[in-house]
């Protein structure tokens, strides 16, 4: 029996009517004869509602109890979706993270999936049942409930697909697929039919919200194809797969942007070996995720060092860096929160020159100043002021001829 | 270390502010030096909200998934109450039914607690933590989540108190204790300072809503004193204990009533051995709880047989009984839903005659007709028309001098 994993996000199960409609879609898929495992998120904004309750009780919700609290959201939607399937005559069973055998590390709020014991899922698939699994959650050694971080139901779905050897992991959401750019900013943005894991990982890591980057990276490692599609329409969606060569003829695949960029600059850093480690190890120890790091060339053995973090991490980052600034003898510390990140991504970029200069010229032509630049083999990212984002995206979308592209099928 | 178990009902934790206030009460109790275990119900009407969601999806919610769904209500309040305790500086841990070691039978919606593995609770008590346990739920063999039936958090609390050898199980609710009658019907009703298990079991079984009868019976078997008190005031409450002799000097202790009484009568039943079993075994097999059974004396080898069930069980009961009526050759089947039950209860009744006649005369004097009568050693129950309930209760309250009683302390 061939197995497929489907994942439905919170907006897809936000109301009883939507749950019924999702049940109908699952039933149709089941009718094709495959074994169907469904991962489900919490209904609509129920996770936010629970978070607000916790915030009314304490300024610092304890992570263990926060996980206990939030995990109930996915258990509710799991139970309801299972009921909806049974109500239309399809045998189904709902499993919470514990019952589904999802074993994680002990780090509450951001646990890692360590192993999945798929025996109960297999047993139920073999008797013809549709298996509905609560996303986002698992169980650590000692029976404690953990969650894998926000947006983590995607990760649950891909991990299950990998463990079960599923043919595909279908992620159903409120958009129709992956676009060349955010359609709210560039109305000419076009839906992509396919892209490869690396491209999707770069887009997700640099602001594309359609898919969680952890899920993409997991799919890449285990070579699980992901289909991203709308749970409200029957449109084709976007297939993300490992076919690297197929993609080479493409140039730029899409543009990602991220408005949540804060730059911290340490000025006048004495430039000697080990200085970077003395700054970034403490940040890492404090659990602060640093995105881009740029070090200017050294003048008189002094250098300026900049890095970006999410806005919500700024205060904590400054608290970590401030004493270090004094220890290492740097002259001062500044930060800027009005920044954004625009990235162009495409597997074809690695074999052909000129993409970077096209990007810089394009931004210059529309008067957008570049604050920082960073690149990977298949991506070029510019940090710019946030007010230039729309202008930049539209200009780049046109410069790289994204609206004109004819998709191969 | 002496251990006490407290239970807080849904209205006591209905809002974040009430949860904070409950946390303060628990903290004060913890300061007295006892080990404190707290059992908590779902917030306010959250169980009803979940039930409504399920009803929108299916006419017959599957019991396994219904338990999965409803159990989340108590997990939410457990997590929140634990957070509130930590926020005021008291170390605490929240445990769901599984983590608390509450093992039940597999009968969803009405599971029985089979055993409790208290090791995790003990470990946490020993390190000085307040242990908060989700009421109403447990786990069956095979990791399935079960619930012990509506109002079952009382049962969870008493079972834990019994297993932990607690000094007392304190049930905090939205009333100040057990009353001689429902104060909404008899304004002269007086709060009782104490009563014994048997009296409380009779009152609870016959309509007193303050405490679940299963919880009382469990407390009786394990001799766990129960204190029923308000979570909103500091008043003394009502102590329910095993001190039978102390109570003998009391006459009638209280009056219970129940408006949810439906009578089914099978007319013209051929009176031969085994006839009762042929009617009541199928009802029992169908899980229908029959309350009172009355069989009239036989005339010409034909008898009339009446029994009462809850209103919600009537349709199912008639579906079971209808074919049997034909099989046994009874002449017809009738039912009446406009009935109520009024009971007077008191341990002193068993040693002194005349209570029954006082009750019957009293009801007669105020023009309330008696449909059925049933008695136990310490209780007399009359089934009457529901419109007579208020009149009956007030008359009986006065006839048995309940408002005049001076409580022994």
Beta strand spans in A271-301 (E) = 293-295
How far, in whole angstroms, is CA A99 from its chain's centroid?
A: 26
Going by C-alpha positions, the residue among A316, A305, A310, A300 that lies closest to residue A279 is A305
How do strand B102-104 and strand A254-270 relate by DSSP bridges? unpaired
Q: Which residues of B touch A84 (CB under 8 A)?
A: 57-58
pLDDT at A13: 97
CA atoms within 13 A on the CB side of A270: 11
Question: H-type helices in A333-387, by residue range?
Answer: 355-365
**pTM, whole model, 2 decimals?**
0.85
pLDDT at A408: 43
**Pair B244, B196: CB distance under 8 Å:** yes
Give the length of chain A: 409
Q: Do A71 and B76 touch (CB under 8 A)?
A: no
Beta pairing partners, A305 = A266, A295
Q: Which residues of B touch A19 (CB under 8 A)?
A: 57
Separation CA A67–CA B117 (nearest Å): 23
ipTM: 0.82
For chain B, 409 residues long, give each residue's pLDDT as a single digit of tens.
899 999 999 999 999 999 999 999 999 999 999 999 999 999 999 999 999 999 999 999 999 999 999 999 999 999 999 999 999 999 999 999 999 999 999 999 989 999 999 999 999 999 999 999 999 999 999 889 999 986 589 999 999 999 999 999 999 998 999 999 999 999 999 999 999 998 999 999 888 888 988 899 999 999 999 999 999 998 899 999 987 555 455 578 899 999 999 999 998 888 777 777 888 888 888 888 888 888 776 677 888 888 999 998 899 999 999 999 988 888 899 999 999 999 999 887 776 678 888 898 999 999 999 888 888 888 889 999 999 999 999 999 999 989 865 444 3
Quick check: helix, strand or coil at residue A113?
A: strand
Residue A60, both tokens: 């610092």
Q: Each residue of B337-393: pLDDT tens digit?
A: 999 999 999 887 776 678 888 898 999 999 999 888 888 888 889 999 999 999 999
Q: Do A79 and B66 touch (CB under 8 A)?
A: yes
Q: Would B3-174 and B255-399 be classified into the same CATH topology?
A: no
Closest residue of chain B to A101, computed from CA coordinates: B143
Q: What are the CA-CA distances from residue B176 to residues A382, B81, B191, B201, B364 (Å)?
A: 67, 22, 8, 18, 33
Q: Do A58 and B82 touch (CB under 8 A)?
A: no
Q: Which of A66, A68, A84 sits opposite B75 (nearest CB)?
A: A68
H/E run at residue A146: strand A145-147
Beta strand spans in B271-403 (E) = 293-295, 302-309, 332-345, 370-376, 379-385
Going by C-alpha positions, the residue among B22, B30, B27 that lies closest to residue B3 is B30
pLDDT at B151: 59
Q: Do A57 and B98 touch (CB under 8 A)?
A: no
Helix axes B119-126, B153-164, angle to 10 degrees: 70
Separation CA B362–CA A146 (nearest Å): 62
Beta pairing partners, B137 = B147
* Torsion angles phi and psi, residue A141, rounded to 5: -50, 135
Quick check: helix, strand or coil at residue B375?
A: strand
Q: Which of B61, B86, B145 sits opposite A83 (nearest CB)?
A: B61
Closest residue of chain B to A139, computed from CA coordinates: B99
pLDDT at A347: 80
Residue B164, both tokens: 């932990």
| Angle (nearest 5°) at CA B340 between B338 and B341 | 160
Q: Which residues of A touch B108 (CB under 8 A)?
A: none
Contact residues for B224 (Cβ-Cβ < 8 A; gap 6+): B158, B161, B162, B166, B168, B169, B218
pLDDT at A65: 97
Block residue for tokens 């080479």: A248
* d(CA A76, nearest CA chain B) in Å: 5
Consecutive sets of 10 residues in chain A, 409 residues long: mean pLDDT of each? 94 97 97 96 95 96 97 98 98 97 94 95 97 97 89 91 97 93 93 92 89 90 95 92 63 90 90 81 86 76 87 91 90 92 86 81 92 85 93 94 61
Going by C-alpha positions, the residue among B271, B331, B334, B270 that lies closest to residue B307 is B334
Separation CA B116–CA B100 (nearest Å): 8
Separation CA B326–CA A152 (nearest Å): 60
- In order, the DSSP letters of B74-114 are HHHHHHHHHHHHHHTT--EEEE-TTTTTEEE-S-TTS--EE
Going by C-alpha positions, the residue among A326, A324, A356 that lies closest to residue A343 is A356
Contact residues for A403 (Cβ-Cβ < 8 A; gap 6+): A180, A188, A189, A190, A397
Q: Which residues of A touch B16 (CB under 8 A)?
A: 53, 56-57
pLDDT at A270: 86
Q: Where are the domains of chain A?
A: 3-174, 255-399
Q: Do A76 and B87 touch (CB under 8 A)?
A: no
How do strand A238-241 and strand A194-196 relate by DSSP bridges? parallel
> Could you tell me if A44 lies within 8 Å of chain B, comparing CB atoms?
no
> Could you tell me if A83 lies within 8 Å of chain B, comparing CB atoms?
yes
Residue B35, both tokens: 């080990």
Separation CA B389–CA B379 (nearest Å): 17
Strand A293-295: give its sheet, edge to edge.
Answer: A293-295, A302-309, A254-270, A332-345, A379-385, A370-376
Block residue for tokens 């697909």: A161
Q: Do A68 and B20 touch (CB under 8 A)?
A: no
Separation CA A300–CA A109 (nearest Å): 45
Block residue for tokens 């609290």: A69
Cβ neighbourhood burial of B355 (10 Å; 0-12, 13-18, 19+): buried
| Angle (nearest 5°) at CA B11 between B6 and B14 | 105
Block residue for tokens 């609509």: A44
Give the length of chain B: 409
> Could you tell me if A69 lies within 8 Å of chain B, comparing CB atoms?
yes
* Torsion angles phi and psi, residue A74, rounded to 5: -75, -30
Going by C-alpha positions, the residue among B248, B295, B243 that lies closest to residue B267 is B295
Going by C-alpha positions, the residue among B36, B68, B66, B41 that lies closest to residue B54 is B66
- The CATH architecture one would assign to domain A3-174 is 3-Layer(aba) Sandwich (3.40)
CATH of domain B255-399: 3.30.2130.10
Beta pairing partners, A401 = none
């Amino acid at each position: 029996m061939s197995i497929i994993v489907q994942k439905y996000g919170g907006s897809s199960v936000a109301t009883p009517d939507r749950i019924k409609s999702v049940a109908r879609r699952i039933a149709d898929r089941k009718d094709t004869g495959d074994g169907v495992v469904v991962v489900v998120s919490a209904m609509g904004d129920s996770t936010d509602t629970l978070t607000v309750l916790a915030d009314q009780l304490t300024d610092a919700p304890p992570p263990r109890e926060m996980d206990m609290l939030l995990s109930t959201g996915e258990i509710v939607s799991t139970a309801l979706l299972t009921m909806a399937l049974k109500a239309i005559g399809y045998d189904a069973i709902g499993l919470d993270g514990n019952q589904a055998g999802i074993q994680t590390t002990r780090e509450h709020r951001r646990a890692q999936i360590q192993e999945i014991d798929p025996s109960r899922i297999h047993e139920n698939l073999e008797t013809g049942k549709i298996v509905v699994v609560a996303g986002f959650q698992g169980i650590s050694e000692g029976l404690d409930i953990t969650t894998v971080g926000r947006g983590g139901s995607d990760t649950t779905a891909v991990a299950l697909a990998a463990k079960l050897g599923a043919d595909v992991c279908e992620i159903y959401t409120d958009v129709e697929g992956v676009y060349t750019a955010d359609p709210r900013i560039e109305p000419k943005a076009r839906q992509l039919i396919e892209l490869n894991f690396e491209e999707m990982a770069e887009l997700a890591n640099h602001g594309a919200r359609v898919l969680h980057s952890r899920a993409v990276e997991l799919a890449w490692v285990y070579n699980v194809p992901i289909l991203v599609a709308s749970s409200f329409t029957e449109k084709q969606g976007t297939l993300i797969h490992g076919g690297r060569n197929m993609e080479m003829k493409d140039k730029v695949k899409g543009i990602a942007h991220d408005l949540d960029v804060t730059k911290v600059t340490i000025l006048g850093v004495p430039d000697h070996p080990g200085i970077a480690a003395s700054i970034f190890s403490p940040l890492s120890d404090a659990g602060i995720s640093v995105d881009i790091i740029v070090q200017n060339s050294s003048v008189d053995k002094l250098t300026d060092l900049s890095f970006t973090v999410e806005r919500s991490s700024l205060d904590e980052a400054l608290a970590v860096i401030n004493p270090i600034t004094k220890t290492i003898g740097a002259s001062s510390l500044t930060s800027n929160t009005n920044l954004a990140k625009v990235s162009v991504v495409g597997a074809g970029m690695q074999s052909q020159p000129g993409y970077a200069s096209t990007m810089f010229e394009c931004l210059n032509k529309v008067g957008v100043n570049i604050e920082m630049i960073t690149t990977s083999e298949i991506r070029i990212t510019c940090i710019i002021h946030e007010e230039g984002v729309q202008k930049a995206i539209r200009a780049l979308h046109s410069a790289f001829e994204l609206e004109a592209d004819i998709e191969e099928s």
